[in-house]
Amino acid sequence: MADSRTMDTTTRVKAADASALKDFLSLIKIGIVNSNLITAFTGMWLALELTNRHFLQSLDIMVLAMAGTALIVAGSCSLNNWYDRDIDVIMKSKNFRPTVTGRFSNAKVLTIGLGFVALGTLLLFMTTPMAGLIGLFGVFSYVVLYTMWSKRTLVSNTVIGSFAGAVPPLIGWAAVDPHLGIVPWMLFLLMFIWQPPHFYAIAMKKCEEYKAAGIPMLPAVKGFQITKWHMLIWVALLIPVPFFLKPLGIGFIILATLFNLGWLALSLSGFKMKNDLKWAKWMFIYSLNYLTILFVAMVIATLF
């Protein structure tokens, strides 16, 4: 009997630990953290390669920059969850968050958010002051300009929020070389332009939830047809970007151009498809693959 009770207790403890970990990863939005780390690493890698610095001799900078970026992104996402708990309870896709269920207290979430941002910023400043300043700008633009202001008041909230998502490659580059040239700014521009069509696809799928929560996302305010036009324009704006990344080689330029044209064709198909939500799902999946493949390709392009 004693062994049985011990096993039951152990099982409950493991289940509670797993649940707490799941809540924590939901709080910091681990998917967003991971995607930002990919772009930050690429910016850092390209800075090392294009300024003729040795990877192994810069491991300390890489560790500080990656850890700092992860912390400021996780902290910003925690603050976003803390501030949005009143609307997340209305949205079915977000009401599982620990800030809604009460499994994490508001005080704890605020402490995690501010603590992570402070520690992450410190680590970035230990690389270069420029990296730290860019990191602070990213936090301010996401937490203040997007979460606390534009998200609830402006239809252009997604565009304003795109500034925050575009800074990780700049952080990565600036951690190695604070003198930002054409390549890091093109990475920033690519990320900035990529975000509206990516997040508009999500907003189309969650349109009714945003309406219920009173959030003026473009599809909820202007409808799907206008949203499709906006997405098409943003995707079209990506087409010239690869041609400013000549240091990565002709192979990358061709690959990126093919991906841009493919995304443009998919964007145009949305005006013929009858199932808008199915098309939005395809746009979302394409955008994820686009980002991952191109940023990995940038690293590979410097190896040959």
Q: Transcribe 70-134 into DSSP letters.
A: HHHHHHHHHHHHHHTHHHHTT-TTTTTSHHHHSSS-HHHHHHHHHHHHHHHHHHHHTT-HHHHHH
The domain boundary residue, chosen from 135, 157, 179: 179
Banded model confidence at residue 9, pLDDT cuts 50, 70, 90: low
7 in any annotated domain: no
Residues 169 and 235 in one domain: no
91 in any annotated domain: yes
The domain boundary residue, chosen from 146, 179, 212: 179
Question: How many domains, the chain?
Answer: 2
Residues 124 and 234 in one domain: no
Instruction: Write the single-letter amino acid at 82.
Output: W
Structure token digits, residue 226: 């206008």
Domain housing 125? 24-179
253 in Cβ contact with 246 (< 8 Å): yes
Q: What is the mean pLDDT of residues 26-48?
A: 94
295 in any annotated domain: yes
What pLDDT was estimated at residue 178?
94
What pLDDT was estimated at residue 14?
53
The angle formed by the CA atoms of residues 9, 15 and 19, to the nearest 5 degrees, is: 145
Q: What is the mean pLDDT of residues 31-50?
A: 95
147 in any annotated domain: yes
85 in any annotated domain: yes
242 in Cβ contact with 257 (< 8 Å): yes
Q: Tell me the torsion sign for CA atoms 161, 165, 166, 172.
A: positive
What letter does residue 144 receive in the DSSP assignment? I
Q: What is the pLDDT of residues 84-139, one digit of tens each?
A: 999 999 988 888 889 998 899 999 999 999 999 999 999 999 999 999 999 999 99
Q: CB-based contacts of 41: which residues, under 8 Å, 6+ apart?
A: 62, 66, 172, 299
123 in any annotated domain: yes
